[in-house]
Chain A
Amino acid sequence: MTPPDPTTETLGAALARHGIGRRGLLRFAMAMAASLALPPWVAPVMAANLAKAKRCPVIWLSFQNCTGCLETLLQSSRPTIDSILFDFISLDYQETLMAAAGSAAEATLRDAVAANKGGYLLAIDGSIPTRDGGVYAMTGGRSNRSMLETLAADAKAVLAIGTCAAYGGIPKAYPNPTGAVGVEDLVSGTPVVNIPGCPPVPDVLSGVLVHFISFGRLPALDDRGRPLAWFGTTIHDRCYRRAFYDQGKFAQSFDDEGARQGWCLFELGCKGPITHNACASLKWNGGTSFPIESGHGCLGCSEPEFWDAGSFYTSLSGGSPTGWRNAGIAAAVGLAGGAAAALSARRRTDTDGEEMPP
């Protein structure tokens, strides 16, 4: 059997090869439209557009990262249309996955850019070091910063995948020795979609791709450049333990009766109320659960500066107490000052012969 021509094959034909017909694609489009908070009538249009869509060229660059984002997307447990969609995108360059190396890989990158100039999606995972000319992360003799600035200029959009690419993430954490920054700090003139998370929810990336392939444009974004459909609400808003928060029922430790009853983890440091992500609705591992469902508070990993935002186990309303020693010193200073002022006033009273208080 002759293999299909990847440059001309449509997504509909590719899905048909995998035994997925129009009805299956329509079901997928319905689910994706719901996930994107689009009206139901969009689903047939989306399905029709997806069926006709040609391969979408994607260039994926990995910068200062742990490869966790890529691993999460590759290990996505559902071998469904999502994964076929990932097969369907033309991942023209990805250093971790591609067989080529060295000058052959560099040539692949050059060819991919030349062939798709102005039409490819540039996916980035990892932060970009800027200190000392960006020497802390180099590929093929070029700094990551230089690669990003060059390739972003010719891209249709840049997808910043993971918190490191979106905001700098853990490499940017204090003292940030490499001067790490996120994509949005360096790219201007090309739309940037932030898909933060450590790692990000795989379904969000597939949703952004589906939207882009279906309609030729990016989904609506919030003020931090995140797709509104998944980052418009907080973990707290969608958390199944929210009712316990409202009732004032909080677990006090990870093994107390409250924890066993599934009460709210706010007092154990859960950052759900300030964390915008889709974990509580889309969940992980094929919809099995998410961290709070597993008994641990949200770390807030999809928020900027999450690594430097204090202890994971300090509640949001809790602060850094002054400590008894500092409080004692403050009281002693106050007493000394007050006593000095009072004695001085007494001396003035004696000198001036003022009336004493009753």
Chain B
Amino acid sequence: MTLLEFARGPALQASALIMIAGIAWRLAGILLLRRRPRYAASRHSAAGRMGRGAFLILSRLIPRPTFRPRIAVGVMLSAVFHLGLAVVVFGGAPHILLIHQATGLTWPNLPKGLVVIASGLTLAAMIALMARRLTHPVLRLLSTADDHVSWLLVFLPVLTGILLSGETIGDYGSLLTLHILSVEALMIWLPFGKLMHTVLVFAGRWTMGVNFARKGAAT
């Protein structure tokens, strides 16, 4: 068995199962958290709370005017990174093919050139975000090993993906193997670090919006 066969076969299956089990573990833990009893009446109806929760998902995407000058660069870089990554993951033909093989879902892919441009922007934004994290005194203080490991495990698939699309450094087979293995490392890490926000981000914000609405706080 070649390393590519290992990456496409047992390693892919094992990493997918670890990711699924890990996400289920985390979700069970969150859903079974003991919650405080609520004695006060809600300030909004059930439908109102749902709406406020949905609104908070959108409102938190845009920085508050008060903080905008300080965080605009970070938010912009983060937006470029996240949107670029979404284009790469959901627009690249090989990625759609893999998702189709795993789930049966499929959709039209984007031209390779667009995906490569999105990959380049993603990579550049990631480097800038890491540079900012390492140079900003507060961010540096707040950063943990989880932040750095999570960054690295996202960075490597994007980097190997760009190299693979260019096929300039190394042959296609080796680069494809590295790319798949790096994605598998990401899949294994995803449920256990801050990357779990890919699953929780919208549910978390929605829950926060619902709680705010119940208490009458602004969303």
Most buried by B among A245, A309, A335: A335
Chain A residue contacts of B27, Cβ below 8 A: 335, 338
The reply to whether the CB of A42 lies closer than 8 angstroms to some CB of chain B is: no
Chain B residue contacts of A273, Cβ below 8 A: 167, 172-173, 176
- Interface residue total, chain A, C-beta cutoff 8 A: 45
- Interface residue total, chain B, C-beta cutoff 8 A: 47
Q: How far is the CA of A267 from the CA of B188 in the complex (A)?
A: 26
Chain B interface, DSSP helix/strand/loop, else mixed = helix
Partner of A342, one of B7, B33, B97, B102: B33
Partner of A357, one of B18, B23, B34: B34
Chain B residue contacts of A318, Cβ below 8 A: 8, 94, 97-98, 101
The reply to whether the CB of A327 lies closer than 8 angstroms to some CB of chain B is: yes
Are A356 and B13 interface neighbours, CB within 8 A? Answer: no
Are A322 and B16 interface neighbours, CB within 8 A? Answer: yes
Chain A residue contacts of B35, Cβ below 8 A: 356-357
From known contacts A246-B113, A309-B2, A315-B94, infer whether A234 and B25 are also in contact, taking CB-CB under 8 Å.
no
Are A356 and B109 interface neighbours, CB within 8 A? Answer: no
The reply to whether the CB of A321 lies closer than 8 angstroms to some CB of chain B is: yes
Chain B residue contacts of A332, Cβ below 8 A: 24
The reply to whether the CB of B1 lies closer than 8 angstroms to some CB of chain A is: yes
Chain A residue contacts of B36, Cβ below 8 A: 356-358
Chain B residue contacts of A20, Cβ below 8 A: none
The reply to whether the CB of B20 lies closer than 8 angstroms to some CB of chain A is: yes
Are B24 and A248 interface neighbours, CB within 8 A? Answer: no
| B-contact 0/1 string along A320-358, CB 8 Å cutoff | 111000110011111111110111011001000000111
| B-contact 0/1 string along A29-73, CB 8 Å cutoff | 000000000000000000000000000000000000000000000
Are A250 and B93 interface neighbours, CB within 8 A? Answer: yes
The reply to whether the CB of B26 lies closer than 8 angstroms to some CB of chain A is: yes
Partner of B93, one of A267, A274, A327, A336: A267
Chain A residue contacts of B24, Cβ below 8 A: 330-335, 338
The reply to whether the CB of B111 lies closer than 8 angstroms to some CB of chain A is: yes
The reply to whether the CB of B29 lies closer than 8 angstroms to some CB of chain A is: yes
Are B32 and A346 interface neighbours, CB within 8 A? Answer: yes
Partner of B34, one of A248, A341, A356: A356
Are A331 and B13 interface neighbours, CB within 8 A? Answer: no
Given contact pairs A326-B13, A341-B28, a sample of 12 additional A-B residue pairs in the complex whose CB atoms are under 8 Å apart: A234-B171, A274-B4, A315-B94, A319-B9, A319-B180, A322-B16, A335-B27, A335-B28, A338-B27, A338-B29, A341-B25, A346-B32
Q: Which 10 A-B pairs have the closest CB atoms?
A: A334-B24, A338-B28, A317-B94, A334-B21, A338-B25, A342-B32, A319-B12, A274-B173, A273-B172, A319-B8
Instruction: Provide a sorted-by-A list of 12 A–B residue pairs whose CB atoms are within 8 angstroms.
Output: A236-B172, A310-B5, A318-B97, A320-B12, A321-B16, A327-B16, A327-B17, A330-B24, A338-B27, A356-B34, A356-B36, A357-B33
Interface residues of A (CB under 8 A from B): 234, 236-237, 245-248, 250, 266-267, 273-274, 305, 308-310, 315-322, 326-327, 330-339, 341-343, 345-346, 349, 356-358
